[in-house]
Structure 1
Amino acid sequence: MDRRTLLRDSGAVAFGALALSVVGATPPAGAHHPDGHTPMPDPATTPVPNPPFPRGLTAAERAHLKTFDELDFDVFTHQDWDRLGESHAPNIRVHWPDGHYADGIERHIADLKAQFVWAPDTRILEHNLRIAMNEFTLVTGVMRGTFTRPMPDGKGGFIPPTGKKYAINMATVGIWNRRRGYMDEEFLFWDDRNFFAQLGIGS
C-alpha cells in the first residue's frame, strides 16, 4: 500500500489535526482543567522540560521517537548532514508549512542548510510533546536562532540581518517505514507569519 494513502484514513487525519491544534493552541495563563490537569505554557516563551517517552509504546514506536530526538538535538542542531539518512528515506517527501513539498534527501539537506546561512545558531533542543502510533509520530518542539547574517531573498538579492532572536513552536508528523526504520514522508508545521514577525521582516 502507498503510505500516502494512509493519510486519508480517519486515524491519520485525526493525527494531523492534533498536530495543528497543538501548534496553534496556547491556553490562558493559570488555566486549569476541571480534573486538575495544568495546561502547558507556551514552550517558545516559557521553556518546558523534555518529558519522558509515553508509556505503553511498542519497541518500534519508541525507536522512532528516539531517532527523532537524535535527528533534532544532534543531527539538525549540529548540522551533521551525513547522519540524516538515519531518520529520512533516500526518496523522502517533505511537506513545508508554506504548502510546497520537496522530494529526496539531498534536496531536504539543501533546504535545511539554507536555514543556517542567515541564522547559524539555529537549533532544536526541546521536544515538549512526543506521540507515536504504529508508523506515525507526532513531535512538537521549539526552533530557536538569531537572524545575524544576510538572508537570500530568492531573487538574487539579500535581506539584511536584523539581529533579532526567534523561538518558533513547531510540529512534525512523520510516516515511518517499518522495515527500514526511517521516515518515508514528513509534514512540518509552524506559523510563518509569526516566524517572519519575530525576524523583523514581517508585514
Structure 2
Amino acid sequence: MKNKYLFLLLATIISSCQQNTGNLQQKVDSLQKALQQYTDEAALTQQRLQRFDTLDFDFYSHQQWDSLSISHAQDIVVTYPDGSQTKGLPDHIKQLEPLFTFAPDTKIKEHPVRFGSGNWTCVIGVMTGTFSKPMSMGDGKTMAPTGKSFRLSMCTVGHWEHGKMKEEMLFWDNASMMQQIGEGK
C-alpha cells in the first residue's frame, strides 16, 4: 500500500512538472516574440535616424533637393518654427531654398541628440551659416549682408509611414538667428 501511494505521488509530481514545462515554454516563446519585436523596432528606428543624418548632413547641407524624396513622402506635411505649414514635397523645398540665398554656406553637421519610438523620430541638430548675400524682404526690398555667422540648435520631429516621413515638424529660434547675423533686436 505504501508503494502504491508513493507511486501516485511520483506520478502526480511528474505530471505537474510536465504541465509546468509546457507553461514555461509558452512564457519563453512569448518573451522571445516580444524581444524580437523590440529588436526589429530598434533596428528600424536606427535606420530612420541614419536616414535623418544623410538628409541633414548631405541633402540639406548641399541643397540636393532631388534627393529629399528618399526620406520624404511626396505629400509630406511640414510645420515650420513660425507655425506655417507646407503640403507636398515641392512646396517644402520652396520653403527651404530662401535661407540658402542669403546664407549659401548653411550646413547641419551634427546631431548631438537623436532618438525614436515606433513611427516617430527626433533629432536635435546644429545649423550654421553666414549672412553673406542680400536677404529678400519681399516687395523687391533686400537687407544688405552683414558677414556675420549664426549657430542655432534646431530640432526635427518626423512621423514615418512606409519608409518615408509623412509629417515633419521643424523648430529653431528665428529671433536668435536674426540677432546673431546683426539684424535682430
TM more than 0.5: yes
After superposition, residues 27-176 of structure 1 pair within 5 angstroms as 58-176=42-160
Larger helix proportion of the pair: 2
Instruction: Say how many residue pairs are matched.
Output: 147
The answer to whether structure 1 residue 194 and structure 2 residue 157 are counterparts is no
Q: What secondary structure sits across from 2:46 in the alignment?
A: helix
Larger strand proportion of the pair: 2
Larger Rg: 2
* Unmatched segments (≥5 aa) in structure 1: 1-54
Superposition deviation, residue 111 in structure 1: 1.4
TM score, norm. by length of structure 2: 0.76
- Distance in 2, matches of 1:89 and 1:151, equals 30
Q: What secondary structure sits across from 2:114 in the alignment?
A: strand
Superposition deviation, residue 71 in structure 1: 0.1
* Unmatched segments (≥5 aa) in structure 2: 1-38
Do the aligned residues in 2 keep the contact of 1:136 with 1:174 (CA within 8 Å)?
yes
Superposition deviation, residue 155 in structure 1: 2.6
- Match of 2:164? 182
The one-letter amino acid paired with 2:149 is: K
Q: Give the number of the structure with larger relative contact order, counting CA–CA contacts within 8 Å between residues 6 or more apart.
A: 1
The alignment's C-alpha RMSD in Å is 1.4
Please identify, of 55-64 and 160-169, the stretch whose mean Cα deviation from structure 2 is larger. 55-64
TM score, norm. by length of structure 1: 0.70
